[in-house]
Every structure is written in C-alpha cells, then in structure tokens.
Copies of this chain bind each other. A is one copy, B any other.
Amino acid sequence: MHSFEELSKQFAGRFESRHFPADPESLYEPAGYFLSIGGKRIRPILCLMGNELFGEIGSDAWQVASAIELFHNFTLIHDDIMDKAPLRRGVPTVHEKYGSATALLSGDVMLVVAYEYLNKIEEGPIHEILQLFNRTARQVCEGQQLDMDFEKKQQVDLSEYLHMIELKTSVLLAASLQMGALLGGAGKGNQEHIFEFGKHLGLAFQIQDDYLDAFGDPAKFGKQLGGDIVADKKTFLLIKAMETATPAQLDEIQALLGSRFPGKVPQMLNLFRQCGVDEWAKELKEEYIGTAFRHLEEIAVLSARKEPLKQLAGFLVQREY
C-alpha cells in the first residue's frame, strides 16, 4: 500500500519520459512545454490508488494513468484558448506562447496520444476502459460548454451549477478511480461506490475552492482573496446567495456584479454572510464528504486498504490554502 505522496513520486518519475516524437518540433514542442510546467497529477494517482485498493498496481494501470493525465492536460490547453487565459501556473499558456492554431493542434494531438496509452492495455478489459474513458471525455466537454453558457446567463440555478461542476470536474476524478478499480478486477458494485466516492469528493473540493477564495485565511491562501468576486464568477456562494437573498439584497448583489467599485469584495462578502452562504457552504461540503465516505465504506475490501484514500480525501477537502 502506498500513500498519495509515494505514488506521486513514482508517477512523476515515469511521466517525465518523452511522450511525443521529435518531429515536427513545431507541433510537439508546445505539447511537451505544457506538460513540463507541472501540476499535482491528482487524476492519474487516483487511478493508481483505485487500482491498489484491489491488489498490486498492475502495468495496465500505469498506462491508463498516463492516458488520464494527458487527457487532462489536453482539456487545460483547450480551455485556456477558450478562456483566453494568458497564464497558467505563473507561466504563459500554450496559445500565448505559440499562437492559437498551434495550441489547438497540440491539444488535439495530446488527446490522440492519450488514446495511444489506452491502447497499451494488455490484460485489462479494453472495451470497458474505452467506454468509461470516452463517456467521461464527452462529459468533460459538456461541462466546459455549460460553463461557457452560464457566463452569458443572468441567473443560474444551483442544480444547474451542480450539474456543470459534476461534468466539468467531478466525473474525471471519479472515473480515474473507477478505471483503476476496473483494472484491479473490481465488480460492478465496487466500481459504482468508488465512482460515487470520487464524484462527491470532487464536489466537496469545488465548494472548498469557492469558499477559500472568499473566506480563506489571507495568511494561508496563496492567491488574492475575492478573485472570483472581482471577476463576477458564478460560484456556489454567489448562486446560493442569489437564490436566498431578499429582494433588497438581490438588488445590492446585482448592482455589484459587473461593477469595478473598489469596495466590491468586502460588500459582496458582507452580503454572502447576511445570506448565510458561508455557513451553508461549510455544511454542504460536509454533507458531500459524508456521502463520499459512506460510499468508500461500502467498498468490499479490507478497511486497511482504504487508508490512503481516506487520508487523501481529508487532505483535499480540509486544506486551508
């Protein structure tokens, strides 16, 4: 059994190898550049952890883990184009550095290389893995489209927002665990539980993200607090506040949205508190964590095997930064 940190080191070592041919450099160098800027590699490690829940980590799981990380990076390169983001992890995005056309194509080829890794599966059920991978890939695209649609909408329901986050963020975390479990020989029931564990953990993680951006401890939180409020981003907090606000509070919220008034952040935070969304977010997060852990409990393996996942889950959703 390995902790997240141990698997993280092992995966980093393997993933450092070359994933692309040398030629044409104008296509593959940008793809390599993006992988070199790093990342926490959470998804591939979830695949490995899902695999180890049922036995020793097999070689198929390593291949699928690489496929998942390449897929995730493909989505980031394309999302950055769509969002016109100049920076990621403090360095220029691919389209900023190499132009949009090359960024688009580097992303495309990275997705194809992800499928090349999937095709290296030797013993596992290739059809089932492909089916899960394809469904997840489609859902992530759907989530990104909904996210873009929401930006143009005046008001978004909490249920719509939840659905979007589930597609854009949670299903890939969940499916990464499930693919590892599937390769480890898990039955349908266990696969469903590990998927639901990952899905609810993903939702809790996003709530935590939104919460920290607004109410985090400035001494611990690395970024500028209130970035989402400045950008008028639709978050769990804003959506819930708009649903529960009195007509007068709603007027105040709407007056702040889109404004560049210097007191925008503290005023919005004040409205969030008045609407009770700070407490609500903490409770909702706890609820999702509770559901996630109940699904983990239901998985029919020795409880000791679940320890690394429990530790990781606690770390992910209790972080204050």
Contacts and interface: CB of A to CB of B under 8 A. Distances in A.
B113 A138 contact: yes
Contact of A105 (B126, B127, B141): B141
Among A118, A134, A149, the most chain B Cβ lie within 10 Å of the Cβ of A134
Interface in A83-139: 100-102, 104-105, 108-109, 111-113, 115-116, 118-119, 126-127, 130-131, 134, 137-138
A24 B142 contact: yes
Given A104-B81, A112-B141, A127 B126 contact: yes
A254 interface: no
A130 B134 CA distance: 14
A119 B134 contact: yes
Among A104, A126, A134, A146, the most chain B Cβ lie within 10 Å of the Cβ of A104
Contacts of A130: 115, 118-119
Given A115-B134, A138-B113, A26 B145 contact: yes
A149 to B, nearest CB: 5
13 contacts: A24-B146, A26-B145, A26-B148, A78-B105, A82-B101, A82-B104, A101-B148, A108-B108, A108-B111, A108-B141, A112-B137, A113-B134, A116-B134
Interface of A: 23-24, 26-27, 78, 81-82, 100-102, 104-105, 108-109, 111-113, 115-116, 118-119, 126-127, 130-131, 134, 137-138, 141-142, 144-146, 148-149
